[in-house]
Amino acid sequence: MLQIQKILALLWQTKIKERKAYHYLQLSGLLELKEFFKIESTLNKQKKLEKKIEQKLKLKKVFITGSGNHAFELALKLLALKKTDEIILPVFTCKKLGQIIEKYCKPVFVDVTKNITVNPKEIQKKINKNTKAVIAIHLYGQACEIQKIKEICAKNKIILIEDCAHSLGLKIKNKNAGNFGDLSIFSFRKSTNLANGGFICINNAKFENKIKKLNENKSNFDLIKNLFGLKVLICKIIFGNSIKMPFLVYSSLGFKGNLINDKKLSRIELSIALIEIEKIKNQIQKRITCAKYLKNKLKEKILWTEKSNSSLMRLPVLLKESSQKNWNLFYEQGFEVGSWYYTDFLVNCKNKQKNFPVASKLANKIMPIGLDGLKKSDLNELIELIKKN
Ligand SMILES: Cc1ncc(COP(=O)(O)O)c(C=O)c1O
């Protein structure tokens, strides 16, 4: 296996690709290949995946969706919103959530705590008679103060939507993330190696019948989608999650846009998801080992402690300055970094950073780093880079 990994690294020249390739080589063990070639209808596979997620993550009622955003929009549709309604969400998150809310009602952004997740006190301040829901996000996989937020929502009779897009497999005091909200949403694109997909979890029975109708699938293009699904998988192996890959290439291959990123996953994508779900626990354990090593050497530069509940989808690191120049520097050295969510924060707060003092202070310094596949030598390299920057 190591030899193949080295050859692939030589061919592709970068560590990110090497790590991704290695991950897929591990993925395609014989047992796992069986999953791909099992003759099963897409619907059966989807049901199997839903059951597996319910069992593995101890979640109530799961419905597979085309993406995390699709799951989020379904959650909003379930609320039967009026234009005057308001939905509270943290300002430090992806801009797409606010944009989706704007289609139905008004997003109300609030500041975050020092661990960059939504601040319950700020939520409380913004609640009024128009408030219909609160979005609580476990950003980068770090648990937000979900129990407090749940109590605030219950007291004010407001729906809680738990956004677990980054936190597949996260445990909060022995309970899996996704069990706290009336509705919770997940993203395979953010939390696994899949390019698409997500799911919504219904914890409040009153939404169950309605979701079945809303999430109905009428697509007849399964064969085409399977081919695109395969293409996406192959491109993921070759290019990894390259942040430099031009958007156009991404879209034409079906990474983004509407070609395959619609309301349904192909059989191949469902098979990969079935495999990925099995690996989550192990993957989180490996990330924790890496995070402990980094924390020990870098102390307060790492915005994580052993006591934090986190799936460590990304490890938040504090730099002297978080900028495109710095992200490129880390990326060129083969580390998975991105702007999660500096630029989106500026859009969300409409450039009024001063209204969000904590988020604004953190936004200038924070850089989330992916830990999957890092070896000790990589971690030492990373430590030196962080110290310099
Ligand atoms: C907090 C959060 N929620 C939801 C989503 C949507 O997930 P997807 O990319 O699968 O549509 C994202 C994606 O960036 C996200 O960061």
> What is the DSSP annotation of 305-359?
-TTS-B--SSEEEE-S---HHHHHHHHHTT--B--TTHHHHHHHTTT-GGGSHHH
Per residue in 331-374, pLDDT tens? 878 788 877 898 899 999 998 999 999 999 999 999 999 998 78
**How does residue 12 score in pLDDT terms, banded at 50, 70 and 90?**
very low
CA of 69 to the centre of ligand 1 (A): 6
Residue 189 Cα to ligand 1 midpoint, Å, equals 8
Residue whose CA is at the smallest distance from ligand 1 atom 8: 68
| Residue 334 CA to ligand 1 centre (angstroms) | 24
Model confidence at 267, pLDDT cuts 50, 70, 90, reads: confident
Atom of ligand 1 nearest to the CA of 163: 3
What is the number of the ligand 1 atom nearest to the C-alpha of 198? Answer: 10
Domain boundaries, the chain: 42-214, 279-388
CATH code of 279-388, in short, is 3.90.1150.10
Range of lowest pLDDT (31-35, 293-297, 376-380):
31-35
Cα(187) to ligand 1 centroid in Å equals: 6
- Which numbered atom of ligand 1 lies nearest the CA of 72? 4
* pLDDT at residue 356, rounded to an integer: 97
pLDDT tens figures, 288-313 = 999 999 999 999 999 999 999 999 99
The phi, psi pair for 331, rounded to 5°, reads -65, -45
Ligand 1 pocket by C-beta < 6 Å: which residues? 67-69, 72, 93-94, 97, 137, 163, 165, 187, 189-190, 198
Cα separation, 337 vs 362, in Å, equals 16
**Average pLDDT over every residue of 229-244:** 50
Q: How many A from CA of 124 to the centre of ligand 1?
A: 25
For the segment 43-48, the average pLDDT, to the nearest whole number, is 88
Buried/exposed code over 74-86 (b: 16+ C-beta within 10 A; e: otherwise): bbbebbebeeebb
Look at residue 380 and tell me whether its pLDDT is greater than 90. Answer: yes
* 245's tokens: 């890959």
- Pocket test of ligand 1: the residue of 67, 96, 166 to mutate, having most ligand atoms within 8 Å of its CB, is 96
Q: For residue 192, how far is its CA from the centre of ligand 1 (angstroms)?
A: 12
Q: How confident is the model at residue 251 (pLDDT cuts 50, 70, 90)?
A: very low
pLDDT of residue 192 exceeding 90: no
Pocket test for ligand 1, best of 74, 117, 190 (most atoms within 8 A of CB): 190
Smallest CA separation from ligand 1 atom 3, residue? 165
Using the predicted structure, report yes or no on whether residue 227 has a pLDDT greater than 70. Answer: no
Name the residue with the closest Cα to ligand 1, atom 12: 165
More confident residue, 334 or 169: 169
Which stretches of the chain are assigned E, i.e. beta strand? 61-65, 86-90, 106-110, 131-137, 159-163, 171-172, 175-176, 183-187, 198-202, 315-318, 366-369
What is the per-residue pLDDT for 26?
A: 45
Residue 94 CA, closest ligand 1 atom number: 16
* Residue 138: pLDDT over 80: yes
Whole-number Å distance between alpha carbons of 353 and 339: 17
CATH of domain 42-214: 3.40.640.10
CA 384 to centroid of ligand 1, rounded, Å: 31
Taking the centre of ligand 1 as the mean of its atom positions, its distance from the CA of residue 183, in whole angstroms, is: 15
